[in-house]
A = this chain, B = another copy of it.
Amino acid sequence: MVPSEIRALFAVVSRPEVVSLAGGAPYVSALPLDVVGGMVGDLVAGKGAEVLQYGSAQGDEELRARICEVMALEGVTANADDVVVTVGAQQGLDLLTKIFIDPGDVVLAEAPSYVGALGTFASYQADVVHVPMDGEGLVPAALRETLARLRREGRRVKFLYTVPTFQNPAGVTLSAARRAEVLDICAAHDVLVVEDNPYGLLCYDHEPLRALRADDDRVVYLGSFSKTIASGLRVGWVLAPQGVRTKLVLAAESAVLCPPNFSQLAVREYLNTQPWREQIKSFRELYRERRDTMLESLDALMPDGCTWTRPAGGFFVWLTLPEGLDAKAMAPRALAERVAYVPGTGFYADGTGQRHLRLSYCFPEPHRIREGVRRLASVVQQEIGMRDTFGGARPDRAPRGVHTPGPGIV
């Protein structure tokens, strides 16, 4: 394992003069902190013997029942017995990879894909093969072709890792029409589907979509409270068919004994006693405004030749620079202009992504988003000028290796 090349860059992102459009941290200050504090204090005072004690490796049973109610909002029918609580969805991903992957096995992932997943896959020596997306998400024809090619090559494909809804980093969503097709293709090739869905409830233009898992019980589903309640609790979960779930519980026990009761029972109490559905609606309004501010600013300010996605939910916009520009080479110059983003190369396992970058609108307030885009547009304009004067960049391919996300990127 080697540190991500983008990690060093982000040591400076937290400076107050920098507008960071880089991180994926949710805006937890929007929670009623006094109320949540009072709730947690009462919980520890009243049920400390349970809250402060070891729990089971699978996670608290009542919490797992509440989790099923949360998943029902996206059409998922599930039994609490099939849920495993994890230390964030990241741990679910780690344990699944540990269970399924032998060195050299193939994992399919969207191009681009979540940087934390790529790091985990690489740490178990999986070989990530990317499948292209367009504005409607993963392209079924490309998935079919990729699977056929890998079969001809005698490769062993263990699973498709997908973030179908409000994808990180691309901000696109797999269309309803394609969902059944993707499931059918994977079933025909006997390839497991791992659906990672941290953003599904943060939808700004329509009601929540049906999860892939809602229409196929074989899907392994990763969920998280990091974006709908609070990331610092590190409470996520895996919903998996029984054979997988049994292995997950053993792997979880070996990894951490049990997830923290302290976090789990805080989430349980929050779901039991607080107006969590209304809080999610209020998060939607908050993030919708930021998403709109970012898109309006990009429309108004970005130079010709740039294109970007228009997310209907989640936290991210994926921007493509004009030909001849290199987002990684541009990043230090953008930082000098006090704006930060994540260069696209971190989201590919194959060293591509030079012309892309990820912009997040989840954390900065709207006036900061506007200012950040203004600075970014000016940097891109300068880059275009340099390209026109000195010729296009010959982008470096990123070195292969584990691109761990680094603090605060997610």
**Chain A interfacial positions (CB closer than 8 Å to B):** 1-3, 25-26, 28-29, 31, 33-34, 36-38, 40-46, 48-57, 87-88, 90-91, 94, 98, 116, 119-120, 123, 226, 230-234, 247, 250-251, 253-263, 266, 402, 404-408, 410
Contacts and interface: CB of A to CB of B under 8 A. Distances in A.
A230 B54 CA distance: 9
A406 B46 CA distance: 27
Given A49-B28, A52-B233, A256-B94, A250 B3 contact: yes
Given A94-B254, A404-B254, A260 B247 contact: no
A123 B251 contact: yes
B41 A230 contact: no
B53 A230 contact: yes
Contacts of A232: 50-55, 260-262
Contacts of A231: 52-54
Contacts of A262: 230, 232-234, 260, 262-263, 266
A260 B85 CA distance: 14
A28 B1 contact: no
A44 B33 contact: yes
A25 B38 contact: no
A51, A53, A98: residue with the most chain B Cβ atoms closer than 10 Å: A53
Nearest to A257: B90
A37, A43, A116, A226: residue with the most chain B Cβ atoms closer than 10 Å: A37
Q: Is the interface of A mostly helix, strand, loop or mixed?
A: helix
Contact of A48 (B31, B226, B258, B261): B31
A94 B255 contact: yes
A372 to B, nearest CB: 20
A161 to B, nearest CB: 14
A396 to B, nearest CB: 22
B90 A255 contact: yes
Given A26-B53, A91-B256, A233-B262, 4 more contacts: A41-B42, A53-B232, A94-B254, A234-B260
A29 B54 contact: no
Contact of A87 (B55, B260, B408): B260
A94 B94 CA distance: 12
Given A90-B257, A250-B402, A404-B250, A28 B57 contact: no
Given A251-B1, A254-B119, A54 B87 contact: no
A87 B48 contact: no
A116 B405 CA distance: 29
B41 A53 contact: no
Contact of A260 (B233, B250, B251): B233
Nearest to A94: B255
Nearest to A236: B256
A85 to B, nearest CB: 12
B52 A28 contact: yes
A404 to B, nearest CB: 5
A234 B258 contact: yes
A238 to B, nearest CB: 13
B253 A119 contact: yes
Contacts of A44: 33, 36-37, 40-41
Contact of A41 (B31, B37, B90, B410): B37
A234 to B, nearest CB: 4
A33, A120, A226: residue with the most chain B Cβ atoms closer than 10 Å: A33
B254 A402 contact: yes
Contacts of A123: 98, 251, 254
Nearest to A266: B262
Nearest to A265: B232
A259 B234 contact: yes
A305 B26 CA distance: 63
A54 B33 CA distance: 16
A37 B226 CA distance: 23
A402 B246 CA distance: 14
